[in-house]
Amino acid sequence: MKISPVKGRPMLQWVGKHSIDTVSNYPAQLAEVYGVDNPETEPTYENFRLGPNLMFQGDNKEILSTLLVQGFRGKIDLIYIDPPFASGADYVRKVALRGKREKLAAEGHSVAEQIQYTDIWANDTYLQFMFERLILMRELLSDKGSIYLHCDPTMSHYLKLIMDEIFGEDSFRNEIIWTYNRFSRKSDKQFARMNDIILFYSKSNENIFRVQYTESRDSRRYEKGWHTVTDSGVTKLLVYDIEKVKQAGVDLSQYDKVVETEAQESAMGQVWTDISIINSQAKERTDYPTQKPEALITRIVKASSNEDSIVLDCFAGSGTTAVAAEKLGRRWIAADLNKGAIQTTMKRIQTRLDAPRGIAHYRVNNYDVSTDMELKRIVIAKYGVATDRKELFFDGTLDTTLVKIVDLTKPLTRLNIQHIKDELDNRPDEARDVTVLCNGSELGFQEELNMENQRRPINKIIVRDIGHEGITTFEPPQATVDFDVNREEQSVTLTIRDYISPTILDRFDIERTVFDEHIDDFRAQIDCVLIDTAYTGEHFTIVESDVPEKKSDFIKGQYTVSLPHPDARVAVKIIDMLGEEAVVTE
């Protein structure tokens, strides 16, 4: 898919600057759903219109590209992003195990720091990172759409020049200054930094915008219904609500003049002083390090979207944009590379909203390799392999070559190549080369194959490693779960017997034997438990959940659930305190 050129003149240069001319499709893998029946395998604009909201995990450059390919070009009315600020810091959250941790604390291992994202950049790298993604966001915006880029004084001046180049200088609307109250230590070198900057641009002059109002002093401070003023010896009673005045029995005769008026409102300016970080954290806190107040995002959503609009946040963080959009009845798409951000958002919407629309969670280029067939489907879609059902040995064609996809859960071996050679020997008239798609290979094997190809006039064997070419995978931790199934009564009791995460042991810098000695309940590692009572192996549907209210509480560990039909298959997803997941089926 072609990308439109930038609109404005280049005003900022950096090493390695280049634009984007085309985008590639990265297949989406359905991972989890909440409140959704019959979810789509691949999210497209057509099935999104009547389907659930979308949550993506992966590099947002690849996610934005996929949205463009899947029909979302020109469909997004509002984008809010809170990207890394290039602040030179690692943003971490403190991660503690559940329950009582005195013994482990004595060993110095009670709390671990989990990096949510690293905000340390070379200047040129950061500018190119933002440049590429902002170009893709512009393509997704509708003609009436707007983008709000949240930043701070560290990079705001550079980002404004980039925005001018991509969207055009005439598309600039405001530089919003959000000032907030928080404790700050005095400095003899500078004033305390107490504000962020939000750059507001639109796709065109037809952008959606509703004036937001800030209450005047009269209506904010005098909600009782009236207010007195004295001017040149004349005392006036300004009445905003005559019924409140009557109910209070106010003696009107004591005033020189009684004036009934409306509470005055003034249009919101671009300096926002009325939204506090401290107040929002008390009510909304998720422990995500860069969380923003709901009131801040709510104001933006109200101002620049309609009820039928789609709102996008591809740096989702703690999910505040998704929550604000959900509460206001907007459709939303959220994305983040960090697994903790995805889980925080999913849990926040499930536990804090009364009736969310439903969420379909997809992975993009961060695939679960639990089955070779699932990964093979992703690879075929990613590379554009033309499949042929009549072909028994090869998996299809790519450009002018035959394609063989070997077992993607194992490294490529010399035996795999020998099987391909044997097949070619049985096809003496076959003159095409062969592309082998694999996931890793034996050491030194590629050099041998290169030398052999130099001697081969036809049927050259070209190996392409999907890992080296950008397709990434991960492996879950281990859990032991017992399933006591009663098919006649259509119920099952599942009991979690054990759970261990190598990531937790590594992050707490502790050996398994020491961990077991000081932690007498493995549930200390587990954040929440999700249950699917009709698991198909394709994705996870949340039917039951166990999310303890307090950090000191354990998950129950044993659950009895009803089955929708006698042959239903039950699966449990266990998410630990660092966000790692294990899915166990009966």
Domain boundary among 364, 384, 418: 364
Confidence label for 109 from pLDDT (cuts 50, 70 and 90): very low
Sheet containing strand 226-231, strands side by side:
226-231, 234-239, 257-260
Task: Give exposure, 521-550, as e/b (b: 16+ Cβ within 10 Å).
Answer: ebbbbbbbbbbbbebeeebbbbbeebebee
Q: Measuring CA to CA, how many Å separate 290 from each of 85, 280, 335, 495?
A: 11, 13, 15, 36
User: Is position 22 within any domain?
Assistant: no
User: Is position 12 within any domain?
Assistant: no
What average pLDDT does range 429-449 have in this prediction? 84
Confidence label for 288 from pLDDT (cuts 50, 70 and 90): low
Alpha-helix residue ranges (DSSP H) falling in 141-263: 156-167, 217-221, 242-248
Least confident of 119-123, 248-252, 580-584: 119-123
- In this prediction, residue 120 carries a pLDDT of 46
User: Is position 221 within any domain?
Assistant: yes
Q: What residue has token string 């394609």?
A: 403
What average pLDDT does range 507-536 have in this prediction? 76
- In this prediction, residue 119 carries a pLDDT of 43
User: Is position 546 within any domain?
Assistant: yes
Whether 318 and 357 map to the same domain: the answer is yes
User: Is position 17 within any domain?
Assistant: no
User: Is position 11 within any domain?
Assistant: no
373 has pLDDT over 80 = no
Q: Which residues contact 568 (CB under 8 A, 6 or more apart)?
A: 490, 533, 534
- In this prediction, residue 78 carries a pLDDT of 98
Name the DSSP class of 35. Answer: S
What average pLDDT does range 341-352 have in this prediction? 80
User: What is the percentage of the chain residues whose pLDDT exceeds 90?
Assistant: 37
User: Is position 535 within any domain?
Assistant: yes
Structure tokens at 300: 């933006």
Structure tokens at 77: 């009315």
Name the DSSP class of 70. Answer: I
Confidence label for 306 from pLDDT (cuts 50, 70 and 90): very high
Q: What residue has token string 């961060």?
A: 366
217 has pLDDT over 50 = no
Rounded Cα distance between 309 and 329, Å, is 9
- In this prediction, residue 69 carries a pLDDT of 93
Q: What is the CATH number of the domain that holds 562?
A: 2.60.40
- In this prediction, residue 104 carries a pLDDT of 41
Task: Give exposure, 296-325, as e/b (b: 16+ Cβ within 10 Å).
Answer: bbbbbbebbbeeebbbbbbbbbbbbbbbbb
Least confident of 306-315, 426-435, 446-455, 500-509: 500-509
SS in 3 state form for 398-446?
A: ECCEEEEECCCCCCECHHHHHHHHHHHHCCCCCCCCEEEEECCECCCHH
- In this prediction, residue 110 carries a pLDDT of 39
- In this prediction, residue 221 carries a pLDDT of 46
Please indicate whether residue 134 or residue 449 has the higher confidence score (pLDDT).
Answer: 134
Q: What is the CATH number of the domain that holds 172?
A: 3.40.50.150
User: What is the percentage of the chain residues whose pLDDT exceeds 70?
Assistant: 82
- In this prediction, residue 437 carries a pLDDT of 92
**How many CA atoms lie less than 13 Å away from 371 in the CB half-sphere?**
9
Q: Measuring CA to CA, how many Å separate 27 from each of 41, 64, 89, 329?
A: 10, 12, 33, 28
What average pLDDT does range 197-208 have in this prediction? 96
Please indicate whether residue 169 or residue 214 has the higher confidence score (pLDDT).
Answer: 169
Sign of CA dihedral 266, 272, 273, 277: positive
Q: What residue has token string 């070997």?
A: 406
**Which structural domain range is residue 571 located in?**
475-585
Percent of residues in the chain assigned helix, strand, coil, to nearest 5: 30, 30, 40
User: Is position 343 within any domain?
Assistant: yes
**How many CA atoms lie less than 13 Å away from 208 in the CB half-sphere?**
24
